Chains A and B, each alone.
Chain A
Amino acid sequence: MTDYWLSKLFYDLHNDETLAAEYRADMTAVLARYEIKPEIRTALLADDVATLAPLVNAYLLRFYFQVRRMPQHEFIAKLNALGDKNKTVSAPMSTTHG
């Protein structure tokens, strides 16, 4: 189920470097400008990939964790842990952000 305001936050962060820097410096201040549900806010503050993933477009999820500067291998590992073990992920993985 798509969460509109979470999607909007991710879209804005993806397209506004100044906002992204502000978000990294003070997440709560930026989150206060969006109608983010309390449980989603908690997930954002915890970098909880599992909770956020079903709520937004997968590309926006990736862009968000690039803004958060989560290393790509860590982001991929968190996603893979949620998924289909029969689909083999090719190695090697890049180590850049997102």
Chain B
Amino acid sequence: MKVLFKIGSGLLRCIRQDLYRKHPYAHERVGFITAKAAALAGGGLCVTAYGYETVADDHYMDRPEVGAFVGAAGLRAALQHAYRAKCSMFHVHLHEHRGRPWFGEYDLSENAKFVPDFFNVAPATPHGAVILSHDAAAGLCWRAGSQEPQVISEVVEGGAPLRIFRGIKV
């Protein structure tokens, strides 16, 4: 079943700018994209992004062995936002290269641990994780009631030009 993730180029530009910022001790930054969902024909899903929640500097744990580790306070803030807004939350981080990005093994195992927690606070909407490169994007989407994530079929960057990043099979 098709899963589309749509995001405006202006919002995506702001997210990249935030993620490019140096952190005092973490190797990289992460954030959360807020989105709302709609059904597509044939059981598909359209996730439309509308905002971005940055992770505060002091919500990162000092773990030099990984790129970024968000502590309990950071995750709690994201969960609270999802609860209040009843929105979808997509964790986002950036790999510094050009072309199609994909999650590392550590990313995949961590995503599988914390993304399902969002269903405790916003159970009806999908949640997931997005990975950006300098010029492309990809992601995984968990649907309500489903244990396994699905590769996002297309990330569509709405703007001029319109960019379509097709999902890869993993």
Do A and B belong to a common assembly?
A: no
User: Residues of A with Cβ closer than 8 Å to B?
Assistant: none
